[in-house]
């Protein structure tokens, strides 16, 4: 099915969009179970998208759905590139292997959502909430994630290379083997985070809080703005790599 629609404008535009979403979603409830069964059967993953039974959104899609409620929706493999979802609600949604590169998610809610293997490359997600979400093996390279909240999120092997993460909250996350190469982590909060094997090469960690964080095997040798005081609040092991003059306590 080829999906196309016109973005309406005017005072009733948001209401009309929500009405259309609800009508289509009711019609597609039965198709959702079939999609789940077929999605990992050796073929490409498709999304149970509210616009149609199995929708392919082209790279130039450019759709607008600001403030939409997509909580709990099945969006496996959805193509959401170049779309605008400011303040949308994706809580508890399944977005595994979704491609949301260059999309706008400022202020969006992804709490408890599954974004494993998803792409958020160059996405604009300032102020977005990812509390208790799963982003394992995803790619958020160069994304704008200023002040994003990742509290208790699963971030194993996520690529945050060159992302803007100023003021982001990573409290209690599990981010083993994640990459923050060249990322802007100024004043980010990593308290009680599991950061084993994380690569902070060339990242700016000025003012970042690593209180009670586990940095075993992490590489901070070329991190910018790192101080002895920051390191003293964390723990690590023999494989933790730090600037030559710094030492870290062993994790108990």
Question: Per the confidence metrics, is the pTM higher than 0.85?
Answer: no
Least confident stretch, 11-25, 69-83, 97-111: 11-25
The pLDDT score that the predictor gives to residue 252 is 81
Interatomic CA distance for residues 105 and 85, integer angstroms = 5
| Stronger pLDDT, 48 or 189, i.e. the higher one | 189
CB atoms within 10 A of CB 211: 14
Please state, in angstroms and rounded to a whole number, the distance separating the CA atoms of residues 78 and 113.
14
Is 90 exceeded by the pLDDT of residue 99? Answer: yes
pLDDT at residue 62 in the model: 53
Task: Encode pLDDT of 142-172 as tens digits.
Answer: 999 999 999 999 999 999 999 999 999 999 9
**Range 82-103 average pLDDT:** 97
């Amino acid at each position: 099915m080829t999906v196309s629609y016109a973005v309406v404008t005017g005072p009733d535009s948001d209401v009309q969009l929500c009405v259309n979403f609800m009508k289509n979603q009711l019609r597609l409830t039965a198709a959702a179970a079939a999609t789940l069964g077929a999605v990992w059967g050796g073929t490409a993953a498709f999304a149970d998208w509210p616009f149609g039974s199995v929708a392919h959104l082209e790279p130039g899609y450019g759709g607008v759905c600001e403030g939409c409620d997509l909580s709990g929706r099945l969006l496996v493999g959805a193509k959401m590139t170049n779309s605008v979802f400011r303040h949308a609600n994706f809580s508890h949604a399944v977005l595994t292997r979704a491609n949301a590169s260059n999309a706008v998610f400022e202020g969006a809610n992804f709490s408890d959502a599954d974004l494993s293997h998803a792409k958020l490359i160059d996405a604009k997600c300032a102020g977005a909430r990812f509390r208790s979400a799963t982003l394992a093996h995803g790619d958020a390279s160069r994304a704008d994630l200023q002040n994003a909240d990742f509290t208790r999120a699963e971030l194993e092997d996520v690529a945050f290379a060159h992302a803007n993460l100023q003021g982001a909250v990573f409290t209690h996350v599990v981010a083993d083997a994640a990459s923050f190469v060249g990322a802007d982590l100024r004043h980010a909060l990593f308290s009680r985070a599991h950061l084993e094997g994380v690569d902070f090469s060339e990242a700016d960690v000025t003012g970042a809080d690593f209180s009670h964080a586990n940095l075993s095997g992490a590489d901070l040798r070329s991190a910018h703005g790192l101080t002895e005081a920051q390191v003293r609040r964390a723990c690590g092991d023999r494989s933790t790599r730090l600037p030559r003059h710094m030492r870290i306590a062993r994790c108990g």
